[in-house]
Amino acid sequence: MTTNISDIRSAVKKVAWGFFLIYININMGTLDILPDWAGYALMVSALGVIAMEEESAKLIKPFGTILVVWNLIEWILKIFGLQIYLNYVSIIPSAINLYFTFQLFTNLAAIADKYSCPQAKRLLVLRTINVIFTVSNTFLLYLGIITEGGEIYTVFMMGILVVALIIMLAILITLFSFASSLGEIEEQMLQAAPQAPQDMPAPDFPLYQPAQTDTPSQKPADETDIPPQE
Amino acid sequence: MFNIWYLLLYSFNITVVALVILLMKRLFRDLLSARWQKGIWFVLFFRIIIPSSSHRSILLPNVGSYAEMLKFTAEKELNSAYTPEFSLIRPDFTLPQSLAPVSVTDYLYVVFFVGAAVFAIYYLISYIRLRLLLKKSPEVPDEVRREINLIAGKYNLYAPKRIVTVKGLPSAFVCGFIKPVLVLPEEKETSEKIILHELLHLKHGDTLKNTLVCILRCFNWFNPIMHYAFNVMGNDIESLCDLRTLEKLEGEERRDYGRLLLSMVNEGYQKVPCTSSASNGGKNIARRIDSIVKFKKYPKGMGVVSVCIVLFLFMPCFYGYAVETGDYTPTSESKFNLAVASARSARCTTMAGALDTFSKGVAQKNGIMLLCAVPEERHEEIISEMTKEDELNYYFSSGLEFDNLTFPDTGTCHAVYNIEKTGDRTYKADIHFDIETDENADELKEIYGEVPENNAVLVMPVIIENFDGWTVREAGGRYLLDINWDANGEYHHKNYEATGKTGKISCGFSYKYYIKSEVKEQDSFFGFTSFNTAPDLAAEFESEYYDRYTVYEANEETRSKLTDKYLSIATIKCDDEEEFENIDFEAIKKRATSMDGLSGSGSSSDGSSWSGMTVYDGWDGKEEDMSGGGYSGSGIKPAENKQPFAYRVWIFADGELIDEFTIYTEEDKQDDN
């Protein structure tokens, strides 16, 4: 159980760092040194452990792989200054990303609930807010509600940026605090792990019996060999 | 005119949407339930029933432009009766009426209608035959009816009034949606679960949906991909009904249901409009059984994201992307044809964009740019000019004067003045072009009469309209003005005049609009700036400069009396009657007369401005007040009519009021001036 929590904690941390890489971009010319594809790769690598707790997480692994490949292609093209206009095709990976993120958060929330972490509800709320925010932005922009330009457009874009920033920060804080909560639980469990009690049942394996010979034992007094099983 | 080109473009667009949906369904087949798998078809449904025009492409770049290009190239030679050569591809659903087909494209159009009619007639005949058969079929015995009513009551469903049996039927089905009939096979007993399945079809209007699908098949009879999509849609309706059935059943009953479906695998079925059947073919049943196995295994809590994904797909699939333009100087025939098609399909999405595009098109004599900005009725003229003498050239003659455009350092060669609203969606404005008049002076004189020396402003009155995108056209009446700012400013001002006891005044104003024009190059060494000559169809107004101008001309008698006196003019613009009633004359007088003999000018936030000078011997009698200007870099609303209600002008000499004028700008009040 202790090992399991440790693995889960590690997986959650990977997801948290994955989102960090996706949200934060540091560009040196055309090179993004915090590439999005690495973020998705981290998340995909965490899915194996998450799936041990939540089976449905297995289903989104192919999606994660698609997102890694897609973002890697975009990243490479960007390095060479090849800004291929992929808007038309990108609605498919964008839709996949919507589902991937939503499902991942759902699974993490279920795990948090299982381990009685306080972040369970917040993860669900952030999951829903994130997906609704993404879709409503797309909707409003397409409807041309803010294409008149001028002050309305500026105010609207600023509003979107502020909200997006808040959501991003909330997600990162929640994920890292979730990992931290799992760490605390792991510690508590280690502390609560039983000492070698007096009334422990006898072990299955036979205790070492020194050979009955005249030759004194060469081993130090505190070592115990377990004879091979016949 | 609805023609084969629109049909082909429309069919292509909906096919692309269908393919995207099929791809998404495949990707999410194990993740989102049958509800989502069926619900996502609403994106295609909306796309089908609400057409778009060629200026928005569905998902793929510039499909509309290519379609326009193909149409234009083909129809040049064909002399179609249904597709005028210069018409744009538009969703206009008028039938050919009495015009006989002439060209190949006309005949194809007729073939389309014939095909649609054949399909419609086939489906109609099938339906009528079925209804006639059902009419003759016997009603089920009372105990069967009671049983079916019990089933309906148990699951809170509606049992149709007519329940009949038919000989030789492989499985039950429902027919119709206004007066639905439940049809059962005569030879064998129908399981409760199958009846539940059919009643659920009735409850959710699946027969109506199938009818709609049949209608859509008629209009897409020539498109195999759409037929496949409609087949999948029909299967999804069945799968969703299976899901609903399973949700009503429990435990072993669900397995029984799966076994029942298995038993139908070898049964044939026929698509008849207005019907729904549990049996829809072997392969489809196999897929449905697969879905049944996955029942309840879909990830939970996915409702929100299911809806969001559909909405996310809806916008690009339904709304599409605007046509892109960019090649305004094509160098080959194919590029020229595509550039023309793109320009014709494109839309200026803002007033500033239309003015920017039109002005740059005129100034650079570029017909491609003009096609982006002018109304459709001018396209033929522009294209004809560009293709005259079998030459394909983006050049379009704007007039001799544009051979001599000047490009000032600080901006473009053109400026927009006095935009006024004249109707619900129409406006007028003046576009000014700075031109040199030294060269071609004689030719210019022939056109315009008097021509200022060296430099002039060419004023082009235009009409701006917003019908399906912003367009600009010349209103006629170009004229030249002297660029010398020391003139009495008549050229860009709307002028009003009044005469008083000491002389006369003319008062005017103008609004000048700067459009954001991206700086292309800034040379830090030589210090010049070259602006972007490419138009921006979605440009915005960057700033607005308001200029007010008052000129006082004293009569002969007054001039002599004013020598060595401090003459000051004060002007105030009143936007409405309330402002007019509440003028603070004393404050204005104090400001205008406070210079104590020094010449000076100024303005105030109350809308007043003043100017003064000490009258010298030999004064020409004119004094100008140009200080009533203003600048705004935000909240620009050029469409609003900014003509003021009235002007008040006072003339002071050494602080004493010697004359005053009131000018009303509205015509019915101008007799009061």
% of chain A beyond a pLDDT of 90: 49
A18-65 tens-digit pLDDT:
999 999 988 888 888 899 999 999 999 999 999 999 988 988 999 999
**Model pLDDT, residue B488:** 41
Bridge partners, residue B395, by sequence: B366
User: Among B48, B27, B34, B7, which residue's Cα sits nearest to residue B229?
Assistant: B48
Mutate to test the interface with B, among A91, A145, A147, A153 (most CBs of B within 10 A): A91
* Cα B241–chain centre separation: 40
Indicate the domain borders of chain A.
Answer: 2-190
B580-591 tens-digit pLDDT:
888 888 888 887
Which chain A residues contact residue B302 at CB under 8 A? 99, 102-103, 106
Please report the domains of chain B, with CATH numbers, ordered by start residue: 1-89+300-320 (no CATH), 103-293 (no CATH), 325-484 (3.10.450), 496-672 (no CATH)
**Model pLDDT, residue B95:** 58
Report the pLDDT averaged over residues A208-222.
46
Q: How many CB atoms lie within 10 A of CB A80?
A: 8
Q: How many angstroms away from the CA of A188 is the closest CA of chain B?
A: 31
Q: Is the C-alpha dihedral spanning A157, A160, A166, A170 positive or negative?
A: negative
The yes-or-no verdict on residue A2 having pLDDT over 60 is no
| Closest residue on chain B to A55 (Cα) | B299
Is residue B214 within 8 Å of residue B206, measured between CB atoms? Answer: no
The yes-or-no verdict on residue A176 having pLDDT over 90 is yes
Cα–Cα distance measured from residue B466 to residue B474, given in angstroms and rounded to the nearest whole number = 15
Give the pair of three-digit tokens for residue A55: 């089976």
> Could you tell me the pTM of the whole model?
0.76
Which chain B residues contact residue A95 at CB under 8 A? 24, 309, 312-313
**Model pLDDT, residue A197:** 55
DSSP letters, A115-135, are TT-TTHHHHHHHHHHHHHHHH
**Burial class of B551 by CB neighbour count within 10 A (0 to 12, 13 to 18, 19+):** buried
Q: How many angstroms away from the CA of A105 is the closest CA of chain B?
A: 11
CA angle (B233 as vertex; B232, B238 as ends), nearest 5: 95
Which chain B residues contact residue A103 at CB under 8 A? 31, 299, 302, 305
Which chain A residues contact residue B636 at CB under 8 A? 150
**Model pLDDT, residue B409:** 46
Q: Which residues of A fall below an 8 Å CB-CB distance to B?
A: 56, 59-60, 63, 85, 87-88, 91-92, 94-96, 98-99, 102-103, 106, 128, 131-132, 134-135, 138-139, 142-143, 147-151
| Average pLDDT along chain A | 80
CA angle (A169 as vertex; A163, A170 as ends), nearest 5: 85
- Provide the residue count of chain A: 230
**Model pLDDT, residue B280:** 64
**Model pLDDT, residue B109:** 86
Q: 10-residue block means of pLDDT along chain B (673 residues)?
A: 77 88 88 85 86 62 81 82 79 63 85 91 91 90 90 90 86 86 85 90 90 90 94 89 87 79 62 68 69 66 82 76 76 87 88 92 91 92 85 80 64 76 89 81 82 81 92 90 52 71 84 71 55 81 80 87 86 82 83 65 77 82 73 66 78 89 71 50
The yes-or-no verdict on residue A70 having pLDDT over 60 is yes
Give the pair of three-digit tokens for residue B295: 């029942």
Report the pLDDT averaged over residues A159-166.
90
CA angle (B52 as vertex; B49, B58 as ends), nearest 5: 100
Q: Would you place residue A226 in the very low, low, confident or very high pLDDT band (cuts 50, 70, 90)?
A: very low
The residue type of B499 is T
**Model pLDDT, residue A190:** 82
Bridge partners, residue B442, by sequence: none
ipTM over cut 0.85 = no
The yes-or-no verdict on residue A110 having pLDDT over 90 is yes
Q: How many angstroms away from the CA of A114 is the closest CA of chain B?
A: 16
Mutate to test the interface with B, among A66, A85, A135, A153 (most CBs of B within 10 A): A135
Interface touch A103/B309, C-beta < 8 Å: no
Residues 6+ apart with CB under 8 A from B160: B174, B180, B181, B182, B202
Interface touch A87/B319, C-beta < 8 Å: no
